Amino acid sequence: MRSPTVPVVIVGAGPSGLTAATLLAQYGIESLVLERWEGVYPQPRAVHLDGEIRRIVERLGIGAGFDSITRPALGLRLVDPRHRVLAQFDRDPAGGRNGFPEANLFDQPELEALLRANLAPYPAVSLRGGVEVTRLAIEKDCVRVDFEDRATGGTESVRARYVLGCDGANSLVRTAIGARMRDLRFEQRWLVVDLATTVDPGHWGGVYQVCDPRRAATYMRIGTTRHRWEFRLRPGEFADDYRDLDRVWPLLAPWLADADRASLELVRVAEYTFRAQLADRWRAGRVFLLGDAAHLTPPFIGQGMGAGMRDAANLSWKLAGVLHGELPESVLDTYETERKPHAHMMIRLAKLMGLTMTEGGELGNRLRSLLAPRLHRLPGLTRTIISGESPPLHRSALVTAPPLRRGLAGRLVPNDRLTDGRRVDDLIAGRYAVITTTAPAPAESATVEQRGGVLLHAVPGTALHRWLRGGRASTVLVRPDGTVQTCGKTLSTLCSSLPDFTPSARPAHTGSAAPKTTD
């Protein structure tokens, strides 16, 4: 008997896989998610996501729930071995260009619980826990996925038009397509300590980076009672050396002063090896790699989990358009073209931050004490660090710009608040959009509406108008993931070239918002 067929099989129910499943479901695309754990993996891992990823969280429909479990960070402090401040980069917890705080601290199991609970309104998603994918077989028009029930040992198969490998650093899917991890030459062993307490240690409400070659460290408060420390391990040290509170206390004492140890609960002590790796290819025909299966980044800029959610946001709308027959299959080639260089760039930034914190010996400490307090004087550096804008996507078939001038192409549209109180993302909500400083003609508005898009007229004096003028553009075409696809063309040209990404394929939760507005 032939195995059942579904449009998409997603291997792995972490943040990347659940994000992809939810976004596909919002377009009406059925998926089956296969996960080896029966429930949420209980150990805390990722603790940070930035403003761009917070926008994705909002689009998933769990924004309010996430706000109830998150703690906006006030920025970043670089401190010396004696915890004296070398430099401080403040961030407004009220939010920046993305419309949300640019540093959000949380407990990953709580986030994953929200993501799982959020699948309930989407019958298009089926989640099977407690199963182990054992084999992928490429067939003529599909991929057969074999998996085993971990409790009973029973075996099953399912066929999929596409498979998304969101199965982590030891990805079976990556192995199955013959992809290999390229080593980007960074490896450090760190001790991760999670602690719960009702005691308020009274520290500043941002992230601390201790720049010390002898014992680099990171500290952040991730909730009302939860705290996270990371300490670089020295040669010969292991997590077992710090397996209880008494043993780890010498590392925690400088942070907790005279706190009563009876009020402290040691949630977890674990050793992690921070690596920088990038898969040599992210796709083989109908199979794609996302998240840690495709890239591993050191945690120094908090982009590990977020990178996987960016992967899901980039690929899901393209895959939905192809499965609905509204976009050509060739658009799937842009996934690796766009995301791989972007992920590589973020890994390089994380490596740079890690080396800045941890290398150089005593000479490095002296240089940091001289240079760090002057970093704010470098033109644009502070703005770059606190703005929340990541590097633009590379050019592709879906990121185009005039010759010799990139402008806004490849960048995310700012999530500014419109005159009616909604934000830009609320109106675009997974559709194509045309944003223009030119008053549209009725025929242009009708064309955009008929093709399932939204038209925004940015009038002088508004934030969107200033953004366009700052990018030396009068009109831009924005993709369903919020990325500027094209700029520099006339309004009539962009309206007439808008893809037929029809309302029937829009996310179901967007409601009946009017497709045209004036800001």
Q: Please provide the DSSP assignment of 68-89 as one string.
A: TT-EE--EEEEE-TT--EEEEE
Which parts of 346-491 are beta strand (E)? 433-436, 454-457, 475-478, 484-487
Whole-number Å distance between alpha carbons of 105 and 107: 7
pTM for the whole structure? 0.92
CA atoms within 13 A on the CB side of 315: 34
pLDDT at 307 over 90: yes
- Which phi-psi region, left, alpha or beta, contains residue 146 (left: φ > 0; alpha: ψ -120 to 50)? beta
First and final C-alpha spacing in the chain: 57
Taking the CA atoms of residue 116, residue 120, residue 122 and residue 125 in that order, the dihedral angle to the nearest 10 degrees is: 50
3 state DSSP class of 144: strand
pLDDT confidence bin for 378, thresholds 50/70/90: low
Nearest to 370 by CA among 159, 69, 87: 87
pLDDT at 4 over 90: no
Nearest to 430 by CA among 372, 478, 498, 369: 478
Q: What is the mean pLDDT of residues 295-312?
A: 92
Question: What domains are there in the chain, each with its CATH number?
Answer: 5-69+106-182+277-352 (3.50.50.60), 411-497 (3.40.30)
Whole-number Å distance between alpha carbons of 212 and 368: 10
**What tens digit of pLDDT does each residue of 90-130 get?**
888 888 889 999 999 999 999 999 999 999 999 999 999 99
**What tens digit of pLDDT does each residue of 17-76 get?**
999 999 999 999 999 999 999 999 887 788 999 999 999 999 999 999 999 999 999 988
**What tens digit of pLDDT does each residue of 187-243 get?**
999 999 999 999 899 899 999 999 888 899 999 999 889 999 999 999 999 999 999
Q: What pLDDT score was predicted for residue 509?
A: 45
Q: What is the mean pLDDT of residues 365-393?
A: 65
Q: What share of the chain is helix, strand, coil (3-state, %, to 5)?
A: 35, 25, 40
